Amino acid sequence: MEFARFDINKYSPRQMVVLPLVLLLLAGILLGYTTLTTGLPLTPGIDFAGGTAVTAFTSDSRETIEAVFAEYPLLSVGEGIGDGKYIQFGPMEEAQHRSLVALINEKYPDAKVDQIGETFGKTLQSQAFLALIFSFIGVALVIFLAYRNPISSGTIVLAAISDIAITAAAMQVLGIPLSLGTTAALLMLIGYSADSNVLLTTRLLKRKGKLDEKLSGAFRTGIIMTTTTLAAIAAMWVVTTLGQIQIISAIASVLIIGLIVDMMNTWMLNAGILKEYILRGGKK
């Protein structure tokens, strides 16, 4: 694998951290602006915003379905295996919802209709936010107890925060909504980020040897681990996208973006900070 043999030591610490910090700043601006204008850093899916999901088996085309429900807040029409269709609607008044259900029963009598109320969606929002916060706190606490060093602990937590922020900004740009599935993907990224950055930090601070050799060895191991995981998730994304399994396709999309971002933050941001710390004599 040619990329694993890349010479990471030819860059200075300042060169390594510039790109990740610029992207983190831009991500913070985007997420902050979205929060000020909409109240949430990401566009919520029906899990969090509330709405109606319809699963129907019909040979009608996407255009036909969009025409049938033109008077309702139609969000998307997904196509599944065979003639399966997954139709999503945004929040609506009770009278309009009753009218929608009557129309669905008339056009697609075997369809399954699921509704998520706005109040319940807001409850899920709060729970998802708490899950992210407690995940960060748990990771930070375990890392600090393991290293008892503010520099090494802080860089691992910073890398995890940067992973989530940049990935979330990419989701907003690409139009991937925040749902229960994509929230789970973000939580998985916190764990993976901690794993890859702990590998780097342990190799550099706890092993003996020359800095360049330790950094190169850690880089080869980490890149092989991440690219192997990326290949598996990419295969899952291809299968679920072709099969129109939207929730798993969205999870795979977030994980692919997050793992690419994590490679940058681990081997540029975290490695650059630790390299500068060691060169300045912080770790003899």
DSSP secondary structure of 108-158: -TT-EEEEE-HHHHHHHHHHHHHHHHHHHHHHHHHHHHHH--HHHHHHHHH
Same domain? For 269 and 179 the reply is yes
What average pLDDT does this structure show over 91-101? 84
What average pLDDT does this structure show over 242-264? 88
Most confident of the ranges 36-40, 84-88, 159-163 = 159-163
- What dihedral angle (degrees, nearest 10) is formed by the CA atoms of 221, 3, 22, 131? -40
Residue 205, in any domain of the structure = yes
Per-residue model confidence (pLDDT) at position 253: 93
Per-residue model confidence (pLDDT) at position 169: 94
**Beta strands 74-79; 84-89: pairing state:** antiparallel
Inter-CA distances, 237 with 18, 60, 127, 164, 215, Å: 31, 26, 27, 20, 32
Instruction: Name the residue with higher pLDDT: 204 or 8.
Output: 204
Same domain? For 124 and 257 the reply is yes
The size of the chain, in residues, is 284
Same domain? For 138 and 233 the reply is yes
Where are the alpha helices (H) located in the chain, listed in sequence order?
13-38, 46-49, 62-68, 94-107, 118-147, 150-174, 180-206, 211-242, 246-264, 271-279
Same domain? For 236 and 104 the reply is no
Domain-terminating residue out of 73, 88, 115: 115
Residue 284, in any domain of the structure = no
Percentage of the residues of the chain whose pLDDT score is greater than 90 = 20
Domain-terminating residue out of 115, 132, 167: 115
Per-residue model confidence (pLDDT) at position 242: 77
pLDDT digits (tens, 9 = 90+) for 106-153: 888 888 888 776 666 677 777 878 888 888 888 888 888 877 778 888
Residue 235, in any domain of the structure = yes
Same domain? For 202 and 236 the reply is yes
CATH code (residue 141): 1.20.1640.10
Per-residue model confidence (pLDDT) at position 173: 92
Q: Which domain holds residue 94?
A: 51-115
What average pLDDT does this structure show over 175-193? 88
Helix (H, G, I), strand (E, B) or coil at 83: coil
Per-residue model confidence (pLDDT) at position 28: 94
Q: Tell me how many domains the chain contains.
A: 2
Query: In the 8-state DSSP scheme, what is residue 50?
Result: -
Residue 125, in any domain of the structure = yes
CATH code (residue 62): 3.30.70.260
Own/partner long-range contacts of 199-205 (Cβ < 8 Å, ≥24 apart)? 199/225, 200/266, 200/267, 200/270, 200/271, 200/274, 201/147, 201/152, 201/155, 201/156, 201/270, 201/274, 204/271, 204/274, 204/275, 204/278, 204/283, 205/147, 205/149, 205/152, 205/274, 205/278, 205/283
Same domain? For 181 and 267 the reply is yes
Same domain? For 152 and 94 the reply is no
Helix (H, G, I), strand (E, B) or coil at 252: helix
Per-residue model confidence (pLDDT) at position 120: 66
Per-residue model confidence (pLDDT) at position 230: 92
Same domain? For 247 and 260 the reply is yes
Same domain? For 104 and 123 the reply is no
Per-residue model confidence (pLDDT) at position 235: 92
Same domain? For 19 and 158 the reply is yes
Q: What band does 6 get if pLDDT is binned at 50, 70 and 90?
A: low
d(CA 27, CA 170): 8
Same domain? For 160 and 260 the reply is yes
pLDDT digits (tens, 9 = 90+) for 55-72: 888 888 888 888 888 888
Domain-terminating residue out of 87, 115, 143: 115
Instruction: Name the residue with higher pLDDT: 244 or 141.
Output: 141
Whether residue 283 has pLDDT greater than 80: no
Q: What is the chain's mean pLDDT, rounded?
A: 84
Residue 33, in any domain of the structure = yes
Q: What band does 26 get if pLDDT is binned at 50, 70 and 90?
A: very high
Whether residue 100 has pLDDT greater than 90: no
d(CA 52, CA 97): 9
Q: What band does 248 get if pLDDT is binned at 50, 70 and 90?
A: confident
Same domain? For 133 and 36 the reply is yes
Instruction: Name the residue with higher pLDDT: 4 or 42.
Output: 42
Of 137, 177, 172, 194, residue with least CA distance to 26 = 172
Per-residue model confidence (pLDDT) at position 284: 46
